[in-house]
Structure 1
């Protein structure tokens, strides 16, 4: 069952400017302006300006005539949206699902989170207190649907700053509210009022077919979303994390010992859930929600999936010194960002007493989280005919690819990182060279085998003028000089003057 908390921030642009030290004094009226059809009009007004009779869309000249001391700031919708998104991220101390509701609101899905504060009312009151401390005028409502919570938060009839509606009471609570609180545009609201439908309860009693025929499907959809018959789409900044644990503190903490103990408790809770679901985590991230709104985070990656709480807490604890607690941390979140099935292995009798992969994985995890996972890798075969692309880097304990190289094709023991150009002389263009010069030394060819033709991969081809010579068709030869040294050389290209390269040594 969903429980949606809606926050309404009236005059949000002016609230943002006040918090960011706008040039206006706190007791002076403030408004933002924008140009509409060549005329300067008010885009937002602060509560003090609204009390003096100023309103949105009023001409700036008329507003100055009413309030000469009005402070005007240019409207910045992008900054308003960015600040609202930052405020939503700050609200993740209460729930992992917090989203901005432009232009002046927030949505929080607090289902399963209220017990961290005791009750839903206690959670809403804590949020209200923090917003009030930051000078943000607001109203909060909690309901079973986003539409009901949105309407109650913006209802002028509600007295308290926080309203908590019991589940299933949406229809009765919304009956006497104006239809404008169904998130309908002004033109549709005016049309409904012209036919005598001023309240939500009156709209709900009308035949749906007639409403849809006259006003379109939106009023009926908004009613269903408010009553819970249809789901309201909310653009959460990140998808809900199925494997995450949160821990909120009554008072901010900041000492390394307290952070370490909290991290161990979160790891214990998360690993208990992972073990019950027979899953293990490949990557774990811990987030620290600070009092000032910042959210430092640390993360670790493991070679094999695991749900060992002690090991996870130890690996994360080694990175705690990078977390700056600031003025204190209100809450912590531990999330398993990547998981995989993990079932207890059944060891054969012959394997009993032998070291298991878990010991190697523990050593790899220690090295990877100290040196960086990019520095630990192993070479593995890769399905490609181009020699320099037949090997790729994989994590140390990754599964071995099913593809293997063809043992019938002889390849050099040492393959150069890049083919090196050589000077070669051949009797005819299609024959192997009779001598070549590499790194200043002259080699006379005694025997040669080939050619073996290898073409570039067609899906990687670039325009002809941008293609390097080594991406042309190659004819490879295995040659042996008079001293018995064996080389792997190739001729690049089929047209024009051929170019020769040395690519490997057979030993």
Structure 2
């Protein structure tokens, strides 16, 4: 089943202007509008959140807007620049989310995310990450994920706040007719007939509607419901290295698909070698006879152009391709490349084992974010002293602290425990963690860790006293008391368990 994301950018023209201005941009609290000419009239074509909150809307005359809001900032509309910037944003999404991304002008992006959600932690996590990145970039966005482009487009603009997931057409019924991407005159004429929402259309006979309004009305309705296909024409950046194979007769057998994948990979690697490049991300697009595109995205830990390795990774994904009634075009594209120089391999020199092949297999099965290693960070606070880095990332030169032992497993957040101890420097006699009471047989400490005052003011005089303890069953834990045991200003004097020794 296809899954499509529609991203709605309600304030794109003003967001683009603010991003373009950088540090010289006006304050976000200052209302800003974009004005353009429609005939002889000067109308508002875009508003930011501050202007919308003051009652200004698209289509209002600029003179009226200035009369309502003294000191209103007005910029000239530039639809060409808006579209060009929207395309650049779509290319950014293409590199990070899914192989099929297209512009949905004037204020949106459409993404075919079929089969890509598992690489991002699920559909909800994928939408949340996408909206979060756009928000951090200064772009106001809402997004909806549905089975069709039409449904996702409608939900993103009329329901999502900021995201919504849909699995059927029932959410479309209460939406206004304008959500079907109908011409304004057609939506107004339908409203005059007493049809106010999409649900009012579902039970109507098609023939009278087609005779009066033409085929556009029923076509848009069927596209939203999934009765008629609506292919997405993906963006392709200039200079993209890709190879293509069209078939006189559609193919569908897994063995045939695998054979042609191997041929395309060899051609792609030859093109990469001519340019001295290796591929880091590769997209396979299979266009079916019904215009639906099945996609496979492969990521690599390091640049590669080994045909055998790339072919094997793509073959592992053949089971995710639904050929339908047949595939008529296969396209293989290197969407992310890096320089890769030829190296001479010597059997005499001892070299470290190459783990990139294993990492590539695992990352393409469970997602790249699930494959990582821990790297040290310069910080005495335990939860800040480690971070996740890509599995083959270069060593930053920092070593792990060795002046005090650290647990093999550090909890994501310290968990409160019940205990009894003599203040200020004695370890506890017993602890109760997750409903289990444990008597302490051995203990070592305290190790005092001070707060980082340069991080936040609350840590100016905060301290923690850490102890390593061992219970009667030989299990060892890392616990701490918040505070120095004497002054309440240094901490709450509550006890927490922070880690478990292997």
TM-score normalised by the chain length of structure 2? 0.51
What residue in structure 2 maps to residue 11 of structure 1? Answer: 11
Q: Contact 2:90–2:101 at 8 Å: present in 1 too?
A: yes
Q: Contact 2:19–2:25 at 8 Å: present in 1 too?
A: no
Pair 1:298–1:106, CA change in 2 (3 A): farther
What residue in structure 2 maps to residue 423 of structure 1? Answer: none
Q: Distance in 1 between matches of 2:37 and 2:232?
A: 31
Q: Contact 2:34–2:45 at 8 Å: present in 1 too?
A: yes
The yes-or-no answer on 1:44 pairing with 2:46 is: yes
Q: Distance in 2 between matches of 1:84 and 1:128?
A: 15
Pair 1:147–1:263, CA change in 2 (3 A): same
- The CA RMSD over aligned residues, in Å, is 3.6
Deviations 1:392-449 (A, max 9, x none): xxxxxxxxxxxxxxxxxxxxxxxxxxxxxxxxxxxxxxxxxxxxxxxxxxxxxxxxxx
Pair 1:89–1:109, CA change in 2 (3 A): same
What residue in structure 1 maps to residue 166 of structure 2? Answer: 165
Q: Contact 1:247–1:266 at 8 Å: present in 2 too?
A: no
Query: What is the CA-CA distance between 1:270 and the residue it aligns to?
Result: 2.5
Query: What is the CA-CA distance between 1:11 and the residue it aligns to?
Result: 1.9
Q: Distance in 2 between matches of 1:330 and 1:36?
A: 52
Q: SS at the partner of 1:31?
A: strand
Match of 1:71 among 66, 69, 73: 73
The yes-or-no answer on 1:128 pairing with 2:168 is: no
Q: Distance in 1 between matches of 2:212 and 2:68?
A: 41
Q: Distance in 1 between matches of 2:119 and 2:191?
A: 44
Unaligned runs of 5+ in 2: 237-241, 245-260, 266-278, 283-298, 319-330, 343-353, 358-387, 393-502
Q: Distance in 2 between matches of 1:161 and 1:48?
A: 18
What residue in structure 2 maps to residue 214 of structure 1? Answer: 212
Residue correspondence of structure 1 range 263-282 to structure 2 within 5 A: 263=303, 270-273=310-313
Q: Distance in 1 between matches of 2:189 and 2:390?
A: 48
Query: What is the CA-CA distance between 1:287 and the residue it aligns to?
Result: 4.6
Query: What is the CA-CA distance between 1:19 and the residue it aligns to?
Result: 1.2
Q: Distance in 2 between matches of 1:207 and 1:284?
A: 44
Residue correspondence of structure 1 range 135-150 to structure 2 within 5 A: 135-150=138-153
Q: Distance in 2 between matches of 1:60 and 1:331?
A: 55
Pair 1:221–1:37, CA change in 2 (3 A): same
Match of 1:182 among 142, 162, 180: 180
The yes-or-no answer on 1:152 pairing with 2:192 is: no
Q: SS at the partner of 2:139?
A: coil
Q: Contact 1:225–1:231 at 8 Å: present in 2 too?
A: yes
Q: Contact 1:284–1:299 at 8 Å: present in 2 too?
A: no
Match of 2:235 among 234, 237, 246: 237
Deviations 1:213-256 (A, max 9, x none): 111111100110001010124332139987799769xxxxxxxx
Q: Contact 1:4–1:143 at 8 Å: present in 2 too?
A: yes
Q: Distance in 2 between matches of 1:260 and 1:198?
A: 51
Unaligned runs of 5+ in 1: 249-258, 278-282, 289-295, 302-309, 314-327, 333-507
Deviations 1:438-496 (A, max 9, x none): xxxxxxxxxxxxxxxxxxxxxxxxxxxxxxxxxxxxxxxxxxxxxxxxxxxxxxxxxxx
Q: SS at the partner of 2:208?
A: helix
Q: Distance in 2 between matches of 1:84 and 1:266?
A: 35
What residue in structure 2 maps to residue 91 of structure 1? Answer: 93
Pair 1:265–1:195, CA change in 2 (3 A): same
Pair 1:330–1:85, CA change in 2 (3 A): farther
Which protein has the larger Cα radius of gyration, Structure 1 or Structure 2? Answer: 1
What residue in structure 1 maps to residue 460 of structure 2? Answer: none
Query: What is the CA-CA distance between 1:260 and the residue it aligns to?
Result: 8.3
Query: What is the CA-CA distance between 1:57 and the residue it aligns to?
Result: 2.1
Query: What is the CA-CA distance between 1:331 and the residue it aligns to?
Result: 13
Q: Contact 1:30–1:70 at 8 Å: present in 2 too?
A: yes
Residue correspondence of structure 1 range 461-472 to structure 2 within 5 A: none
What residue in structure 2 maps to residue 55 of structure 1? Answer: 57
Query: What is the CA-CA distance between 1:273 and the residue it aligns to?
Result: 5.0
Deviations 1:352-389 (A, max 9, x none): xxxxxxxxxxxxxxxxxxxxxxxxxxxxxxxxxxxxxx
Pair 1:35–1:260, CA change in 2 (3 A): closer
What residue in structure 2 maps to residue 358 of structure 1? Answer: none
Query: What is the CA-CA distance between 1:173 and the residue it aligns to?
Result: 1.2
Q: SS at the partner of 1:20?
A: helix
What residue in structure 2 maps to residue 381 of structure 1? Answer: none
Pair 1:47–1:274, CA change in 2 (3 A): closer
Query: What is the CA-CA distance between 1:187 and the residue it aligns to?
Result: 0.9
